[in-house]
Chains A and B, each alone.
Chain A
């Protein structure tokens, strides 16, 4: 039987998605449901003096109004930070309480203060308008670079500082810098991004008065984790009385990892008002309250020798957490960032120091790449600048500092199991016609345009990951994954996974894996996810972990099915177990060549007997049925890597930047479905180009989000991109039996520095910050013209 792993199997989920038959949270309606509308703070920072709900309660159709007072009285817990990070001085991070409904202070525009439930959405909106909140507006802290010098916004959080974290060895770095011929320096802003999942957040809650069970349908990337947090920290319901269902989810990018205020509030309130509740975010609410991404201010330095060897690296970063620390908020700028900041290079000495600060802006958390795009941007800007200042070729300087031995003990934390960085960059150069660039540049020049080329080589640590490792670094949970394979008597198979698909195509890739493992047609397999009542448990999908962790759990569960199947087949065929070979869905007795298909074996497992004969196919010590589960905890992260090359052309008159060519060569180990992987890379690159050129989240000095709609926030569109030129190299991961590495975030990690390096190359080295909007580039072009005129 031909292997499905490695082939371009069409996406099973497309049948429903492309026909508009997906079933998202907002598609779910429950009889007798009420509609929730939240009253949100219009101020970035304000004392809440009083909340008057009397008029709202009398408003037509209003069923109930709840505020921070009631939720505090009911002792419902707040939102949590999932990772405890320690400062360099050994002190624990400072985390303010984050109640689901703010009672005393509001800390960002959009923070929920109260909620109104009504018979119709319109009535709920009317009611919400009638809730009168008396605020005392306070001066907001907006700029992360200024946060440590501003008023403390949370009691007990001095200087608005959550932690001052260090990874690495300052002394060793100082020594390395003392030996350097040259120090390359960059000051960078990693711009804040709004995730903009196509489907806004939503929840539908149904409280069952008979069983006292709460069912929460929600837009989550990790329903089991949500249940755990809501039960353990929120105290909303015991874990066995809370069912969390994340049905089809239209994109997450990290913004749907968190358990949000609305989910906690509606779950708690459904029990209180004994009515189902539906809440669907409007787009403005998404802009204001989904966790945002990035937002770093970085100063970094690279110590180099004149011949381009890297000696040392330092990174001083201020990371904006926004108003509160959320689930991955504190780890994103530390362990997901610092270790990767030395990039794909051998750098003997390095440190990363990160100060995470609170501001009166939307909370910042993991967003596609989470920490690794920021890390890659830092090192790849430095490396490119080093090449420029040393007069070296951009690719040569990289090759010179790549490790050539694997496993590669990376400077700060990771031991990278496999890779071939030279092969990746060589292939990218060839595919991008790197050698022909000068001719293309001249041609552009003749047309009055500036052409630039940029390179970035990246690796990232994903597939998060080993529980012992992440828990030692402060993670509140272990990041294993589980799977269960239920082989039904009729041969149909349900595969349960704790991973969650919100664009990752698990219905297809996981089915490919299971079909190969068990030698059954892919049509017989149904991948089931997203329901805590169906699957055992799971940690969900983020950090490019679904395949490398969840996929392996499926493989292991399948292997258990085959192992049991072998024992049963041996008994049925009356041979010893070691005489049975399993191949292409059949258990074959090697000597006699008699066989039983896996379907026959499964049938026998459920109907273990036969007419007129007292005979069981189930061996002694085994049980009937054919269901196996596996929990998989990987021994290491997975380390995809690659090199991307971008060419841009700038019109100096307008400052317009056109991405002319984009080449990406990635090493994702073994590829299960090339079509799906290409799709993931396309999406990632598109988001990265968005960050580099378009997406410009702006708060004004009072903390109002200026870019809170698509009229003002530039999402990249298809006409902003050239056709992407994708290539792959392959070194198998040694840390998992499939040899796979994560691919979901790589595009977004590698592309911002690739594009910016090209823009800066076109500008003759003139630094410019992301996003490189037309006006910024135009100004840079003007200043180049001026200085050229002076020089002449």
Chain B
């Protein structure tokens, strides 16, 4: 690992000020530290944001659940409030990686990194989340822009993620047996008016499967999507899974999720 300057600001303003094109925010460090260790990334300044109190914590209002950026996966997984309001979100957090990762990894780090096989982005998409940054509010569908890419600008910091509480939801995941990231993750959320089926792991970036969402919006049952072919074109094919296998898993887990709702 190359040496770097370590900063631990107490508030968002200072953190933002320290940021530059050669800096990184450090939340759980679950992605940042390994990539620095492996020499895949190096930074002049590492800005630890864990000491910024206002970035951590969970708030539930009538219609939304707001999770602070540095809230750890284990906190979401075990939160009574989340379990009550959006049990699927707690379930998702509880199945991320392994215990060590859940004890350090954060929601802000997860969505800012936007790994194509991360779990949280699918929840953001399906639950019509609004990403609060120190500059603005961004709708989830505009936030995830591509592989490891987001709408965040330099110095922009995620402060919290506000999820809309659905009527019903479930998350189903086929873990990569090695890393336990998602080979495929399907988040199904039934809102008052419509249904969102968000898919992660399948393509270069999380997306809403419009066909499945539409069918379920008009009839929220397994039979509505039975036999629906999920096309493998455009899906990732790598040593862990072929596109064809991923496509099979998307339709399978969509059904499983509806069943579990």
Contacts and interface: CB of A to CB of B under 8 A. Distances in A.
B245 interface: yes
B222 to A, nearest CB: 13
A707 B177 CA distance: 13
B242 A775 contact: yes
Interface string A276-306: 0000000010000000000000000000000
Interface residues of B, number: 17
B248 interface: yes
B179 A710 contact: yes
Interface in A646-702: 653-655, 694, 696, 698
B174 A714 contact: no
A706 B178 contact: no
B177 A711 contact: no
A654 B252 contact: yes
Interface string A166-192: 000000000000000000000000000
Contacts of B260: none
A10 interface: no
Contact of B239 (A122, A284, A654, A706): A706
B174 A707 contact: no
A710 B178 contact: yes
B179 A654 contact: no
A537 interface: no
A712 B239 contact: yes
Contacts of A122: 1-3
A24 interface: no
A629 B191 CA distance: 80
A655 B240 CA distance: 13
Interface string A94-106: 0000000000000
A707 B178 CA distance: 10
Nearest to B177: A714
B178 A654 contact: no
B41 interface: no
A694 B180 CA distance: 13
A778 B248 contact: yes
Given A122-B3, A775-B242, A714 B178 contact: yes
Interface string A773-791: 1110011000000000000
Nearest to A651: B252
A534 B248 CA distance: 62
A310 B63 CA distance: 72
B178 A775 contact: no
Contacts of B179: 710-712
Interface in B215-261: 239-242, 245, 248-249, 252
A707 B248 contact: no
Interface string A728-759: 00000000000000000000000000000000
Nearest to B249: A654
A714 B240 CA distance: 10
> Most chain-B CB neighbours within 10 Å: which of A654, A696, A712, A715?
A654
Nearest to B38: A284
A598 B248 CA distance: 73
A472 to B, nearest CB: 44
A603 interface: no
Contacts of A653: 248, 252
Contacts of B3: 122
Interface string A706-731: 11001111110000000000000000
B248 A694 contact: no
Contacts of B245: 655, 775, 778-779
A696 to B, nearest CB: 8
Contacts of A696: 239
Chain A interface size range: 20 to 34
B159 to A, nearest CB: 29
A712 B178 contact: yes
A694 B174 contact: no
Contacts of B38: 284
B177 A694 contact: yes
A713 B178 contact: yes
Nearest to B174: A654
Contacts of A655: 245
Contacts of B242: 775
B148 to A, nearest CB: 15
Interface string B161-197: 0000000000000100111010000000000000000
A379 to B, nearest CB: 29
Given A706-B239, A775-B241, A775-B242, A711 B178 contact: yes
A519 B242 CA distance: 64
A711 B101 CA distance: 13
> Most chain-A CB neighbours within 10 Å: which of B38, B178, B179, B245?
B178
Contacts of A698: 239
Contacts of A774: 174, 177
A774 B248 CA distance: 12
Contacts of B174: 654, 774
A322 to B, nearest CB: 20
A654 B246 CA distance: 10
Nearest to B3: A122
Contacts of A694: 177
A710 B3 CA distance: 25
Nearest to B246: A775
Contacts of B1: 122
Contacts of A706: 239
A713 B239 CA distance: 10
Nearest to B180: A717
Contacts of A712: 178-179, 239-240
A320 B103 CA distance: 42
Nearest to B242: A775
Contacts of B240: 712
> Most chain-B CB neighbours within 10 Å: which of A694, A698, A714, A715?
A714
A705 to B, nearest CB: 11
B49 to A, nearest CB: 25
A698 B240 CA distance: 11
Contacts of A715: 178
A748 B181 CA distance: 28
A42 to B, nearest CB: 12
B252 A707 contact: no
Interface in A107-145: 122
A585 to B, nearest CB: 49
B252 A773 contact: no
> Most chain-B CB neighbours within 10 Å: which of A706, A711, A715?
A711
Nearest to A694: B177
> Most chain-A CB neighbours within 10 Å: which of B38, B181, B245?
B245
B185 to A, nearest CB: 14
24 contacts: A122-B1, A122-B2, A122-B3, A653-B248, A653-B252, A654-B174, A654-B252, A655-B245, A694-B177, A696-B239, A698-B239, A707-B178, A710-B178, A712-B178, A712-B179, A712-B239, A713-B178, A714-B178, A715-B178, A774-B174, A774-B177, A775-B241, A775-B242, A775-B245
Interface of B: 1-3, 38, 174, 177-179, 181, 239-242, 245, 248-249, 252
Given A710-B179, A713-B178, A779-B245, 20 more contacts: A122-B1, A122-B3, A654-B174, A654-B252, A694-B177, A698-B239, A706-B239, A707-B239, A710-B178, A711-B178, A711-B179, A711-B181, A712-B179, A715-B178, A773-B177, A774-B174, A774-B177, A775-B242, A775-B245, A778-B245
Q: In the A-B complex, list the 4 residue pairs whose CB atoms are closest, starting with the nearest.
A: A714-B178, A711-B179, A714-B177, A775-B245
